[in-house]
């Protein structure tokens, strides 16, 4: 029998109290679920007629699948750009040159502080003034996601490199490696392993944030499923919201499962001496061990 070091095992009264609270919680949640079901039923939201469009292949081929592809397209492009942005500015914040660190820090902190929706709006309305008329929905969405999530990834990169024990860099420098070689051959391979769970977790956030493209009429899953389908099939707003919600949950759970698997693999791996990095803003900021600045 293992002993939990976080709290004492409850006695008979404690177990009885926990069981009662658990039962009450289940009853409350079941009551809330039944209330929602009853209200939907009173409005006729469970009638087969309004769910019939989602059994039609054309609904999926004309609306849902194109919207899903639009979401994945925006998420894929933004993920690649954000990773590049994060790597460049994360390493720049570790530079030996104060002006490089200052500029990179100002850029990262600025775009982390601006609300993402405001950033997307600003880019969407600024683009026609700069580049002329055209459809800039994808560009504005990708640029906003890149700047915001790339800034968060830059902090993850910086924390990942600094999480590698300083002795690693000192040993590499002692055998004659240059600073760039120490970063490329010693620190980054270990840091990437430690950063991987946090990077994938941030990419989950990026995927969810693509839904903000709905505000600027980008053709994504939310726009196609939640706006166009109810417009074509009157009365199917709630079914459309449920179907689209289930698809989003499936996508995010798949990426979250990947992040969990990577985190467990990282903890079992002996390829790095750095602890897994948590994304900035998560519970507990990532600890650093002072690997030093090497650029």
CATH of the domain at 201: 1.10.3720.10
Q: Which residues lie below 8 Å from residue 28, measured CB to CB, with a gap of 6+?
A: none
- Quick check: is 15 in a domain? no
How many contiguous H segments (helices) and E segments (strands) does the chain have? 13, 0
Torsion of CA 269, 272, 273, 277, to 10 degrees: -90
247-270 pLDDT, tens per residue? 988 888 888 787 777 767 766 655
In this prediction, residue 279 carries a pLDDT of: 58
- 189 in any annotated domain: yes
Helix (H, G, I), strand (E, B) or coil at 68: helix
| pLDDT given for residue 110 in this prediction | 93
Give the residue with greater pLDDT, 182 vs 271.
Answer: 182
pTM for this prediction: 0.75
Among 6-10, 13-17, 52-56, 193-197, top mean pLDDT goes to 13-17
Residue 287 lies in a domain: no
- Does residue 200 sit within a domain? yes
Domain of 105? 66-268
Residue 107: inside a domain: yes
Burial level of 100, CB count in 10 A (0-12/13-18/19+)? middle
CA 76 to chain centroid, in Å, comes to 12
Number of domains in the chain: 1
**Within a domain: 3:** no
105 is a domain residue: yes
Quick one: which of 50, 71, 82, 24 has its CA closest to 230?
50
* 59, part of any domain: no
pLDDT at 178: 73
For the chain, percent of residues with pLDDT exceeding 90: 25
Q: What is the pLDDT of residue 31?
A: 95
- Is 282:87 a contact under the CB 8 Å cutoff? no
């Amino acid at each position: 029998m293992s002993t939990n070091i976080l709290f004492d095992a409850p006695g008979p009264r404690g177990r009885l109290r926990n069981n009662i609270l658990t039962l009450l919680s289940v009853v409350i949640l079941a009551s809330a679920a039944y209330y929602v079901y009853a209200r939907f039923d009173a409005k006729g939201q469970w009638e087969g007629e309004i769910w019939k469009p989602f059994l039609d292949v054309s609904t999926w081929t004309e609306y849902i699948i194109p919207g899903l592809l639009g979401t994945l397209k925006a998420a894929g492009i933004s993920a690649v750009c954000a990773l590049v942005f994060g790597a460049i500015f994360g390493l720049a914040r570790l530079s030996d040159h104060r002006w490089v660190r200052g500029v990179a820090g100002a850029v990262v902190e600025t775009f982390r502080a601006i609300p993402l929706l405001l950033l997307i709006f600003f880019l969407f309305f600024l683009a026609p003034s700069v580049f002329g008329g055209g459809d800039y929905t994808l560009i504005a969405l990708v640029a906003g996601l890149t700047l915001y999530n790339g800034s968060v990834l830059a902090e993850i990169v910086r924390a990942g490199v600094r999480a590698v024990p300083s002795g690693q860099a000192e040993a590499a420098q002692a055998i004659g490696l240059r600073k760039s070689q120490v970063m490329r051959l010693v620190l980054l391979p270990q840091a990437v392993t430690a950063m991987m769970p946090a990077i994938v977790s941030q990419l989950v956030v990026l995927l969810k944030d693509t839904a903000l493209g709905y505000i600027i009429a980008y053709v994504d899953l939310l726009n196609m499923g939640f706006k166009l389908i109810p417009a074509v099939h009157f009365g199917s707003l709630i079914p459309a919201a449920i179907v689209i919600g289930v698809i989003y949950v499936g996508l995010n759970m798949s990426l979250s499962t990947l992040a969990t698997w990577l985190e467990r693999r990282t903890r079992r791996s002996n390829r790095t001496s750095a602890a897994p990095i948590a994304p900035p803003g998560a519970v507990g900021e990532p600890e650093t061990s002072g690997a030093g600045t090497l650029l």
